[in-house]
Amino acid sequence: MVKFIFKISDEKVDKMSSLETKTDVILIGAGIMSATLGTLLKELEPDWNVTVFEKLSKPGEESSNEWNNAGTGHAALCELNYTAEKQDGSVDISKAIKINEQFQVSMQFWSYLVNSKLIHNPQDFIMPFPHMSMVQGEENVTFLKKRYEAMSNNPLFHGMEFSDDPKKLMDWIPLIMKDRPLNEAIAATKSDAGTDVNFGALTRMLFDHLKTNNVDINYKHSVENIYRENDGSWKLKVKNTDNNKVESHSAKFVFIGGGGGSLHLLQKSGIPEGKHIGGFPVSGQFMVCNNPFVIEQHHAKVYGKAKVGAPPMSVPHLDTRYINNKKSLLFGPFAGFSPKFLKSGSFFDLVTSVKPNNVLTMLASGAKEMSLTKYLIQQVMLSKEQRMEELREFIPNAKSEDWDSVVAGQRVQVIKDTEAGGKGTLQFGTEVVTAADGSIAALLGASPGASTAVHVMLDVMNKCFPEHVEEWEPKLKEMIPSYGLSLLENPELLKEIQISTAKTLALSPISEKELVYG
C-alpha cells in the first residue's frame, strides 16, 4: 500500500479554518465607548449589521468597570485641574465649560434611553452626589475663592457654594473636619448638581439592550490583526480564545475602543494618522474603607489639588460610591507603573508599542517627563502607612485598620508631537484618531473619558459618516435636544434640560426657582 502525504502550509490551514463574515460596522472592545457608539448607530440605522469583539468574558471589565475608575460624572464641578490660574491671577474656566456641556450631552442621551424604555432603573447606574473642591493653605484658599467667583456667575455652574467657615464645613464634610486644627486655612466649594456614575453597570445595560437589537456580540474573541482590503474595507483576524480557532471578519467601518489595547491595533491598521503616536501606561490604586461607621459619616465626592509633578489623573479625592447597591468610601488614586496597557494585558505591551515611526517621539517624551517618572517611582515605593498619611490630609483621624487597598484600572496616556508642546508631548485627555476617509477610528487617552462618551462618539460619527449627518439630524435632536447648540448661549434650553434629566434619571429634583439665572 502506498501512502501519500500532503504538507499544507500554515497560511492555507489558517484560511481553511477561518470563518469569513462581512458586516457593516465592527466595534472592538466592549466598554462604555463601544456601547455608546453601538447604541447611537442602532437608533439611527436599525438595519445596519453591527458586530462586537471583546477579548474578555463579559462587557465593561477594563477601564469602564466600577472598580477601575472614580465613578465621577465629570462635569468640572469639583476638578481643580480643569480651571487653571492664569499669569494675571484670573481663573480660566473655559475647559470646565467645555467638559460640563459635554457631560450634559451624556445626561440627555441617557434620559432618552430611559424614556424610550431601552434601559431601565437609572438609579442602578447614576446617583446624585454633592461634588466638592477642598483646599488647604492661604494661597490655595484665595485661588478657590477666585475660581468660585468665576464659575458661580455662569449658568452651567449655578448653585455652587463657597465657604471657609469651619462651622459650615463641619456641616458639609464632618468626617474631613473632625479633629482638624481650628486655625488651619481651609475652604471648599459645593455643588449639589454632581453625580456618581457606575459606568460598569451602564455598560452592561447598554450591551444587554444591543443584544436584543440584533447586534452580534462575541466575548472571548481577541483581534489579532487588522489590515485594509483593495475595496477599502477592513479585514480583521480574530482569535476565539475558547477554541483557538481563527476567524476572518470584514467591515466597511471599524471602531477601535479597546482602552489601552487600542494603540497596538491602531498601529497594525497602518493608517498615516496613527503614526508618530506613543503611549505611556499609568496604573492606579485606591484605599477602600472597610468600617461602616466611617463610611456613613461622608456623603460627597471631594477633590483636592494635585501635588507638584503629579499627573492630572492623580488628583486626590475622597469619594462616596455606590457599588453593587452598597455604599462605599474610596480615597486616591495613588499612581503606579506597569508596562501593561490593560489590567489583563501583557508585560510586553509598552515595549512592543515602540515602532520606528514613534521611537523619537517616545524618547523625547522620556527626556521631558523625568519629574513624572520620579513621581511614579515614589508612588510605587509608598508603604500602606505612607498612603495613610496622605489620606490623613483629608481625614485627620483615619486609622490604618479601617482601610484596604484595591488596584484600579490601567490608563495609557497619549504621547505625540504637538505645535504647542513640541516633540514627545504627553497628553492627559481623551483623543480620537480617525483615518482621512473615516473608515476607521480609534479612541486613546484617559479622563474625562466615560463621562463625555456621547459627545466623543457623536464626534466620531460626524467625522466618519459625514454623508449621513444631515439625514440623522432630526433623530439626533430627539435624542439630544441641545444637539448642535451651545447650552451656555441658550440658558432657557439649559434650564429645561436640567429639569427634565433630573426627573428622568431620578436625581435630586431641580425646581425652576433654583434655576433662575441672575
Q: Is residue 440 part of a domain?
A: no
SS3 track for 383-396: CHHHHHHHHCCCCC
Task: Note whether 445 and 453 are within 8 A (CB).
Answer: no
Give the per-residue pLDDT at 464: 97
Give the per-residue pLDDT at 514: 44
Residue with the bigger pLDDT between 488 and 410: it is: 488
Q: Is residue 310 part of a domain?
A: yes
Assess whether pLDDT exceeds 50 at residue 510.
no
Residue 293 contacts by C-beta under 8 Å, 6 or more apart in sequence? none
Task: Note whether 313 and 373 are within 8 A (CB).
Answer: no
DSSP 8-state class, residue 72: B
pLDDT-derived band of residue 392, with 50, 70 and 90 as boundaries?
very high
Task: Note whether 100 and 157 are within 8 A (CB).
Answer: yes
- Write down the H helix ranges in 67-157: 94-115, 138-152
pLDDT-derived band of residue 76, with 50, 70 and 90 as boundaries?
very high
Cα three-residue angle 32-37-39, rounded to 5 degrees: 95
Across 169-185, average pLDDT = 93
Q: What is the pLDDT of residues 102-157, one digit of tens each?
A: 999 999 999 999 999 999 999 999 999 999 999 999 999 999 999 999 999 999 99
- Report the domain count for the chain: 1
- Across the chain, what does the average pLDDT equal? 89
DSSP calls for 404-442: EEEE---EEEEEEEETTTEEEEEP-SEEEEE-TTSSEEE
Q: Is residue 408 part of a domain?
A: yes
Is the overall model pTM greater than 0.85, yes or no? yes
Assess whether pLDDT exceeds 90 at residue 25.
yes
Q: Is residue 42 part of a domain?
A: no
Provide the angle, in degrees to the nearest 10, between the axes of the packed helices 32-44 and 453-464.
50
Give the per-residue pLDDT at 408: 86
Q: Is residue 233 part of a domain?
A: no
Give the per-residue pLDDT at 152: 94
Q: Are strands 326-336 and 277-289 parallel, antiparallel or unpaired?
A: antiparallel
For residue 394, which of 279, 317, 284, 299 has the smallest C-alpha distance? 317
Task: Note whether 318 and 331 are within 8 A (CB).
Answer: yes
Q: Is residue 344 part of a domain?
A: yes
Q: What is the pLDDT of residues 403-459, one digit of tens each?
A: 999 988 888 888 888 888 888 887 877 889 999 999 999 999 877 789 999 999 999
Whole-number percent of the chain with pLDDT over 70: 93
Q: What is the pLDDT of residues 279-326, one digit of tens each?
A: 888 888 899 999 999 999 999 999 998 776 566 667 899 999 998 889
Give the per-residue pLDDT at 385: 93
DSSP 8-state class, residue 31: S
Give the per-residue pLDDT at 102: 96
**What range defines the domain where residue 297 resides?**
277-426
466-483 burial, b at 16+ Cβ within 10 Å, e below that, comes to: eeeeeebeeebeebbbbb
Residue 216 contacts by C-beta under 8 Å, 6 or more apart in sequence? 23, 49, 50, 51, 52
Task: Note whether 149 and 141 are within 8 A (CB).
Answer: no
Assess whether pLDDT exceeds 60 at residue 19.
no
Residue 370 contacts by C-beta under 8 Å, 6 or more apart in sequence? none
Across 26-55, average pLDDT = 97
d(CA 296, CA 327): 8
Q: Is residue 506 part of a domain?
A: no
Give the per-residue pLDDT at 17: 45
CA 488 from centroid of its chain's CA atoms: 23
Amino acid (one-letter) located at 265: L
d(CA 54, CA 61): 10
Q: Is residue 381 part of a domain?
A: yes
